[in-house]
A and B are shown apart, each in its own frame.
Chain A
Amino acid sequence: AQTVTQSQPEMSVQEAETVTLSCTYDTSESDYYLFWYKQPPSRQMILVIRQEAYKQQNATENRFSVNFQKAAKSFSLKISDSQLGDAAMYFCAYRGSGGSNYKLTFGKGTLLTVNP
């Protein structure tokens, strides 16, 4: 079974600084999908970024980028120029490939605090 580990229960960053959230996963599959979701307090969980394992290039979405290390099974999220609105719980998630392998496996989350 796949597992997703987020080793940092909490992180903090100063506004305008850069922070990196860690995620590792365990799988025997060679093709899969990885996601970072953001869940602000009392608000909806939204997709931040996704990465297809077959792509070597790291995904980027504005201030958010990932460092995908397939051999190390690592998928970290970097937030540049942090803003107060980035404060949220961040979840790393894994989804297998092949057929209807639709089950998302989530990590326990990292609570990010942004200090003004």
Chain B
Amino acid sequence: ETGVTQTPRHLVMGMTNKKSLKCEQHLGHNAMYWYKQSAKKPLELMFVYNFKEQTENNSVPSRFSPECPNSSHLFLHLHTLQPEDSALYLCASSLSVLDQETQYFGPGTRLLVL
């Protein structure tokens, strides 16, 4: 275990549903990240939060809405998703966003959009 947990581990939702993914880190880190992992593609960075402030939105569609209420928790709110949004969504954290800090990953939420 890396100290980063994600819930749920699996999620199936229809295109009209609203759901949320949760990430929690127990490492005392200040930076948190959302990544999308699709089959046959490299991991794609979606959002970055540093000390609860969003520092990057990597051109992610508005149907994905992140929330970071504190440095330990990160949410990804999902609304009217498309089938192509089906993927493994990974959360990561690091001590800070400084370049020398290693990122630690959670187990991911496997999302299927029907």
Contacts of B41 in A (CB 8 A): 108
Indicate the size class of the contact surface on chain B: 20 to 34
In B83-114, the 8 Å CB interface with A consists of: 90, 94, 97-108
B45 at the interface (CB under 8 A from A): yes
Contacts of B108 in A (CB 8 A): 44-45
Contact A108 B40 (CB under 8 A): yes
Interface of B is mostly: loop
Chain B 44-63, CB-CB to A under 8 Å as 1, else 0, gives 01001010000110000000
Contacts of B99 in A (CB 8 A): 32-33, 95-102
Contact B107 A43 (CB under 8 A): yes
The answer, among B4, B48, B100, for a CB contact under 8 Å with A33, is: B100
B16 at the interface (CB under 8 A from A): no
Query: How many residues of chain A are within 8 Å of chain B by beta carbon?
Result: 29
Residue in B closest to A35 when the chains form the complex, CB atoms:
B102
Cα A95 to Cα B98 in complex, Å, equals 10
Contacts of B1 in A (CB 8 A): 44
> What's the least CB distance linking A45 to chain B, in Å?
4
Residue in A closest to B41 when the chains form the complex, CB atoms:
A108
> What's the least CB distance linking A102 to chain B, in Å?
4
Contact B100 A108 (CB under 8 A): no
Contact B2 A44 (CB under 8 A): yes
B interface with A by C-beta (< 8 Å)? 1-2, 4, 31, 40-43, 45, 48, 50, 55-56, 90, 94, 97-108
